[in-house]
Amino acid sequence: MEIWINPACSKCRSALSLLDAEGADYTVRRYLEDVPGEDEIRDVLDRLGLEPWDITRTQEAAAKELGLKEWPRDDSARDRWITALAGHPKLIQRPIITADDGTAVVGRTDEAVRDALTRT
């Protein structure tokens, strides 16, 4: 299990605390320093069953600078969104937990983190 975090994020710290309390075996990835490439983002999106706009933090300054709210949310723009996430990792919703069964969850709630723990 791997968890993508930003240490400054309270939701990330909460998820880590819960994983620790449950005795989970996991690896921490500080994704702002160890930035995922476009292929990794595609893989995580497949594991999540989501589209790139579903995991984009549209209120971030970079999102506003790029005008993301105006971008199409369809297959024709999918690669453009993925390129933006790889180029501006702060736009990626966090934390993302890749579960041992090949799926992933956005662990913004205790329930989502617990769900990841059940996926073996």
Measured CA distances, 101 to 2, 14, 15, 66, 80 (Å): 12, 23, 19, 35, 29
Total residue length of the chain: 120
- Among residues 5, 7, 8, 9, which one is catalytic? 9
Catalytic (active site) residue 9: yes
Record the tokens describing residue 51, joined without a space. Answer: 């589209």
Whether 91 contacts 57, CB under 8 Å: yes
Q: Active-site positions?
A: 9
